[in-house]
Structures are given as structure tokens and as C-alpha cells.
Amino acid sequence: MAERRHLLDVDDLDREDMERVLDTARSFSEVLHRPIKKVPSLRGKTVVNLFYESSTRTRMSFEVAAKRLSADVLNFNVSTSSVEKGESFKDTALTLEAMGVDAVVVRHPVAGAPWLLRQWLQAAILNAGDGMHAHPTQALLDLFTMQERLGELQGRTIAFVGDILHSRVARSGIKACRAMGMKVLAVAPPTLLPPVALEGVVTGSDLDDVIPHCDVLYMLRIQMERQKEGRFPSLEEYTRLYQLNMQRLGKARPQVVVMHPGPMNRGVEIAAEVADAPHAAITAQVSAGVAIRMAVLFLLLGGSEGGEKVA
């Protein structure tokens, strides 16, 4: 991955690259447990968080990661409502280019936006989520979390449950899990499944059928607007059929890991008791987020070449 300049989606990485990121993240997660949680690896480098969608959690996670590596961080938030009249995406990119930044972390509501940036910028591009397309650092932090809980992932089974159709978390997550040799299931009402089954994924619409066979239950956030679009009749009906509640958890394997990319709708896709149960790895995912983003920034910005000790 040393020769790679960007992280746009997980298929930029082969399994070896992924293991490298995960290993690097593990050393960084030790840093995070020290009293002084900072290493000088990226001193003098500038990282811009270019966010066209408000996501405090993801932005903060990248910001913390960059600061722990001693990089300078600039936050550039563009509200989507002002996009139409405001500066064009290209002009914003050219401005960043002129400022000579080293990395741009981009979150954008339109799929493919990071691919445009890559054409216009010399800087490293990190995709922090583009439309319903990809969210590679989320996928990597999910692998990290699963490895912490389960050890070897080869042969394990994960079910993504909920709005697969609109989920960049699921799209990248599925690719990452498949690359690690996991069996991947997708469970949702047919109206929230992609029109064409994703490669190598077994799809279904009956959550109760699937639960006993899974090592990981990955609950996706359901957006209220999907009901208005007529993709399901009511939140009540959705909750009844697809919520992970204590009763359903009781049918799962004892060591099952429950995950969620956040922010959760407690009481909708996940019952509050489940979110707080020991099976849930949701806060572990948040900590993993910082370590993974440190690792990715470190590896992309050439922190590896000097043989500098990571931690």
C-alpha cells in the first residue's frame, strides 16, 4: 500500500494490503491507550476534511486520527444546500490544490465525487463516504472490530440487515468481508435490496431464518425518508420484522457480535437493550475508527518509507 496514493474503495486493497492496514491500526490503538496519545509521524503534513454532508462522528474521527499523528488539520464544511449557488466542486478542488495540501478526506452525497477529486488534485484522496457507493474506512474499522472479537475471520458468517440498497457501509463492508473469506448474507425487505444481487452475497428477507447461522449481525441505520418513498409501509411494520431485539438475540449464537455504523435509531433497527448488551461492539467500532484512520493516513502519506517506528 506504500505505493498507493488514494483510498477510494476497499477494492483498491488486496487482502495483504488490508492486513497491513489492520496490523498498523493495532499498533496505533496501543498509542491511544498511552497517557500522551500522540506520535510525530505526520508532522508538517496538512490534511483537509472536505465534508459536503454533515457527519460529526466521521469528521471527528478523521480529525482525531490526523492530530494524533501530528498533522495539521483543516475542516472545510460545505452545506449541501449551498452547493447549487456556491463554488463548483472543481473550483474548491483547485483551491485546495493551490494550497498544497497533502491529503483530502472527502465526504460527499454524490457517488463518485472522490474519483473526480483524484483527477483534479495531486494530494492523497481518502473517501469518507460517497453517496450510496463506498465507505472504505468504515469497512476496515469493521474488520478490525470483528478481528478483535472473533480472531480469524475466514469462514465466519456475517449478515448485513436493513437498507442494503442505499448503504455505502454495506457496499464496502460486503467487499471487505468477502476479501477476508467471510460468508456474507444480506437481509432486508425486497424493496431495500439492490435490483441486482451484489456479487457473492446471499440475499433474503427473513431475519429470523438467518439469525442462528451468523457470527456477526450488522444492523444498518434505517432512514425515515425510505418510508415516505414507499419502500415499506410503516416503521412499526419494519421494526416488527427487522429489529434486532432481545428475543431475536436469544436465537443467535452465544458469541454473536452485534455491530452498527451509527448513529443508531434505538428502538427501530436495534432495541436499546441489544445496543447495551455485551454482544454489541458498537463503541469498540468507534475506537477502531480512530486507529484505522491513523493507519490509513500514515500509510498513504508515506509515513512508512523512513522505517520510522510506528509506536
List 26, 45, 68, 135, catalytic entry: 135
Would you state the cell numbers that stand for residue 116, as one nine-digit string?
473526480
* Nearest residue (CB) to another protein, 132 versus 282: 132
At closest approach, how far in Å is the CB of 170 from another protein?
10
Residues 6+ away with beta carbon under 8 Å from 148: 281, 284, 288
Residues 6+ away with beta carbon under 8 Å from 171: 132, 133, 134, 135, 198
Residues 6+ away with beta carbon under 8 Å from 298: 24, 28, 41, 42, 69, 304, 310
* Nearest residue (CB) to another protein, 91 versus 276: 91
At closest approach, how far in Å is the CB of 175 from another protein?
10
Q: What are phi and psi of 244, to 5 degrees?
A: -85, 105
| Displacement of CA 124 from its chain's centroid (Å) | 18
At closest approach, how far in Å is the CB of 53 from another protein?
12
Is 58 noted as a catalytic residue in this protein? yes
At closest approach, how far in Å is the CB of 110 from another protein?
4
* Nearest residue (CB) to another protein, 76 versus 115: 115
At closest approach, how far in Å is the CB of 240 from another protein?
28
Is 166 noted as a catalytic residue in this protein? no
List 37, 38, 57, 213, catalytic entry: 57
Between the CA of residue 39 and those of 43, 48, 64, 184, what are the distances in Å?
Answer: 9, 19, 12, 37
Nearest residue to 161 via CA among 219, 216, 226: 219
List 33, 56, 85, 228, catalytic entry: 85
Residue 297 to residue 254: CA distance in whole angstroms: 36
Residues interacting with another protein, by CB under 8 A?
83, 88-90, 108-113, 115-116, 130-134, 168, 171, 194-196, 198
CB atoms within 10 A of CB 17: 17
Residue 163 to residue 192: CA distance in whole angstroms: 5
Is residue 18 within 8 Å of 179, Cβ to Cβ? yes
Helices (H), the chain: 15-31, 56-68, 89-99, 113-120, 136-150, 168-179, 207-210, 224-228, 235-242, 246-249, 272-275, 282-300
* Nearest residue (CB) to another protein, 90 versus 240: 90
* Nearest residue (CB) to another protein, 52 versus 144: 52
Beta bridge partners of 159: 185, 217
At closest approach, how far in Å is the CB of 210 from another protein?
21
* Nearest residue (CB) to another protein, 36 versus 196: 196
List 26, 45, 107, 293, catalytic entry: 107
List 26, 45, 46, 58, catalytic entry: 58
Is 85 noted as a catalytic residue in this protein? yes
Which residues are tagged catalytic?
57-58, 85, 107, 135
